[in-house]
Structure 1
Amino acid sequence: MKEVTAGCYFIAAEAAEADTVVLLHSSQSASSQWRQLMQQLQGKVNLLAVDLLGYGNAPQPEASAHFRLATEVPRVQQALQAANIQTPVIVVGHSYGGALALKLATEGAIAVSKLALYEPVSFHVLPDDSPGMQEIRTVSDAMHGKDATECTRTFVDYWNQPGYFDALPAKIQGLMVRQAAKVALDFDALLNEPLSLKDYARLQQPLLLMTGEFTRRSAQAVVRSLTTVLTNATVKQVPAGHMGPLTHPAEVNPLIIDFIQ
């Protein structure tokens, strides 16, 4: 594995003409969340795993005011350039990374041939008075004014289950707490992204849209909204929650691999 820029990792395929897969992770995570999938795909495709700003070995955002998904875009572009990838890529994204993948493809920021997304949390497509939007705003509001530990506990327990954060090893808890400020920026970006469902309707690429059977209302609402405009989307349900790519890779990864190949 070659680190082409800080926190961006490239593994070349055996065949020169192989496709390239770009992997974008969720909030409170890093490119390492895709380790098992990368092992399964290694040699068959080029792999570019990106630590998004504030996570893993990526730099911190230069500014926090009005942070938006657009701030993440140059990082992906620069990683592709550093890896000398000039052909359209397949983008795999989870949660925050899935929302970023939709933006990249919709705006043509990078050339995308296919998208495989697990619950992209593009909350900005939800009406303000919808139950899904109200639920995620309640979570966001609950994190305001709290210390980093309490913010992290609120976030992690919402996407998993009550008590999940407290049951984690102290080392993992510490890492997550250090990333709490970036999580707040991610929420800001997801809630205030200017793209709309009408914009996403322009997407023509084949798209695999995965969702968890036991996920949260907010994530379910986003998936339902996106399916109304993404005419080339194939929807697959997994017997998991929102963190399915990490908790249930045996169910999620084969769907991604079949779609890629």
Structure 2
Amino acid sequence: MLYFTEKGKGKAVVLLHGFLENSRMWKYFQDELSKRYRVIAIDLPGHGKSSTNSKDVNRMEYMAEKVNEVLEYLHLDEVVIIGHSMGGYVALAFADQFKYKVQGLGLFYSTTLPDDEAKKEQRLKAAEVVVKNPKEFFRLSIPNLFAQKEVPNLSEEIQQAVSWAEESSLTGISAALKGMRLRQDRTDVVRDLDKPVLIITGEFDNAIKNAELKKSIQDFQNVSLYELPTGHMGMLEAPKESLEIIQQWLQGVK
């Protein structure tokens, strides 16, 4: 079973980290949200303390099934599920496979849309590079996730993100890259969910095509969309602002 931490009582809120991260990225959020909710933060397959729970290709559907194993173990029949980046892809796969368990869905710097062909090719190359030279891969890729004009002022935050990446297995990282490139368009999952959906984006996020995402969900009545002046790493670039949005949204999830 996947590694997880649990804190607090009340409505169950499941937090899923992104690529090159683990559940530690949610510590501030988990500490604060657990004052009102039962918050479960999970290490996804191949990442953090779940590094051994990996296949050669970790598809989003497989990760969602492993998340469900944790919820079954905890006897949770209904949850609010929030995912950052890759964690959002897993949350969407979870909502697709276990719709009846979802009270609310949060996409935190994530998207419903699949990779285009160029991105798919990029992920394949990255899957090879990270195994051969992980330190160089982390050094080059992680700073690009932040708002570029703020990078000189974010050395501590960038190092924090690098430390998370170093806690995952290289085979798990490679498997996640291969899995992300195979994910399908799940815009219809959001449309058909009939539950509150939160989407937080970054104005300077180069990892997500925000304009295309906004266009795809513009007529969805169940979506609350917020944009912050950040890159892709809102939990480090704007933690208080991000948390406040999530807290306000959770109050409306029944």
Report the number of matched residues. 244
Of 201, 204, 208 in structure 2, the residue corresponding to residue 211 of structure 1 is: 201
Residues 161-211 of structure 1 deviation map (CA, whole Å, 9 limit, x = unaligned): 589899965995595285443333222222212444345432221111110
Contact 1:123 1:218 in 2 (8 A): no
Please say if residues 25 and 52 of structure 1, whose CA atoms lie closer than 8 Å, have aligned partners that are also in contact: yes
| C-alpha distance in structure 2 between counterparts of 1:181 and 1:19, whole Å | 35
* Distance in structure 1 (CA, Å) of the matches to 2:88 and 2:195: 15
The answer to whether 1:29 aligns with 2:29 is: no
The structural deviation recorded for 1:224 is 2.5
Corresponding residue SS for 2:15: strand
Mean Cα deviation higher: 151-160 or 162-171: 162-171
State the Cα RMSD in Å.
Answer: 3.1
CA contact (8 A) 1:165 1:173 kept: no
Task: Classify 1:196/1:178 alpha carbon distance in 2 versus 1 (closer, same or farther; 3 Å).
Answer: closer
Aligned to 2:4: 8
More displaced, 49-58 or 106-115?
106-115
Amino acid at match of 1:92: I
After superposition, residues 1-261 of structure 1 pair within 5 angstroms as 6-13=2-9, 18-64=10-56, 66-86=57-77, 88-108=78-98, 111-124=101-114, 128=117, 134=118, 136-137=119-120, 139-140=122-123, 143=126, 145-146=128-129, 147=132, 148-160=134-146, 161=148, 172=162, 176=166, 179-216=169-206, 218-221=208-211, 223-224=213-214, 226-228=216-218, 230-261=220-251
Larger relative contact order (CA 8 Å, sep ≥ 6): 2
Tell me the secondary structure at the aligned position of residue 44 of structure 1: coil
AA in 2 matched with 1:153: R
SS at match of 2:225: strand
Contact 1:91 1:112 (8 Å CA) reproduced: yes
Structure 1: give runs of 5+ residues left out of the alignment.
129-133
Contact 1:92 1:115 in 2 (8 A): yes
- Secondary structure, aligned partner of 1:218: coil
CA apart distance, 1:10:
1.5
Contact 2:105 2:198 in 1 (8 A): yes
Q: Name the CA distance, whole Å, in 2 between partners of 1:45 and 1:239.
A: 28
The secondary structure found in structure 1 opposite 2:61 is helix
Give the alignment's TM-score, normalised by structure 1.
0.79
Following the alignment from structure 1 to structure 2, what is the Cα–Cα distance between the partners of residues 228 and 212? 17
- Does the 8 Å CA contact 2:17/2:84 hold for their aligned counterparts? yes
Once the two structures are overlaid, the 10-residue window that deviates more, 198-207 or 175-184, is: 175-184
Identify if the C-alpha distance between structure 1 residues 67 and 165 changes in structure 2 by more than 3 Å, giving closer, same or farther: farther
TM-score, normalisation: structure 2 = 0.81
